[in-house]
Amino acid sequence: GAVVSQHPSRVICKSGTSVKIECRSLDFQATTMFWYRQFPKKSLMLMATSNEGSKATYEQGVEKDKFLINHASLTLSTLTVTSAHPEDSSFYICSARGGRGETEAFFGQGTRLTVV
Amino acid sequence: DQQVKQNSPSLSVQEGRISILNCDYTNSMFDYFLWYKKYPAEGPTFLISISSIKDKNEDGRFTVFLNKSAKHLSLHIVPSQPGDSAVYFCAAFVQGGSEKLVFGKGTKLTVNP
């Protein structure tokens, strides 16, 4: 299947700093990318949907100024957690899908963020 | 409102036996369904999918069944292997719509040797 690479896999940062997570589709053009967050013992929570070249659409309750999403090219989307706090510590996962008609979404490996 | 429900948080089966993971949905607009497998601290891996125009899709040891009238789908794994132990997520979306995947909460499968 298609490959989606997410980097870094683990990051520890100090409270108040910002962290950038990258999501790359390696062998296909991802017109749509999704960012998820997984809480312990809970499902994947969709944070936002981004389409290449346009602003991300955030889910209700997700702070767009805190979780900045950029989808500047068809192979790269970034999630920046700004002014991170310990409660932002979580597992973040991106997924990517090709154009309409492409029904499978391929997931990155995830990023474990720990804010200390 | 949870549109995709996996009512069993966990399932334990013996190696070699069949594992059946269930998923129910409430949104009749969903027309494409997927199953993902997830190991701890990793991203989900796509397993198998099914379109609403079908009622069964098979891929090796994995078979997904869809009952549209009951808004129910299931994933059968046979024979189950210890390496199948993971959390399995059911997901659904509307093709041509927002295309957002809606996930269930997952079922943790443990296959005992």
A36 or A72: which leads in pLDDT: A36
pLDDT at residue A29, as a whole number: 87
B43, B49, B98 member nearest A107 (Cβ): B43
B44 or A15: which leads in pLDDT: A15
Termini Cα distance of chain B: 38
The rounded mean pLDDT for chain A is 87
Minimal C-alpha gap between B7 and chain A (Å)? 12
Task: Determine how many CB atoms are found less than 10 A away from the CB of residue A61.
Answer: 7
pLDDT in tens, A68-105: 999 888 899 999 999 999 999 998 999 988 765 566 77
Q: Which residue of A has its CA nearest to B32?
A: A103
User: What percentage of residues in chain A have a pLDDT greater than 70?
Assistant: 91
Q: Which residue of B has its CA nearest to A100?
A: B96
- Measured distance CA(B37)–CA(A93) in Å, rounded: 14
pLDDT at residue B7, as a whole number: 92
Q: Which residues of chain B have pLDDT under 70?
A: 1, 96-99
Contact B46 A107 (CB under 8 A): yes
Average pLDDT over residues A17-34: 91
Q: Which residue of B has its CA nearest to A23?
A: B43
pLDDT at residue B10, as a whole number: 95
List of chain A residues whose C-beta atoms are within 8 Å of the C-beta of residue B100: 34, 46, 49
User: What percentage of residues in chain B have a pLDDT greater than 70?
Assistant: 95
Peptide bond before residue B79 is cis, with ω within 30 degrees of 0: yes
Minimal C-alpha gap between B102 and chain A (Å)? 8
Contact A108 B41 (CB under 8 A): no
pLDDT in tens, B51-66: 999 999 999 999 999 9
pLDDT bin (cut points 50, 70, 90) of residue A11 is very high
Contact A93 B103 (CB under 8 A): no
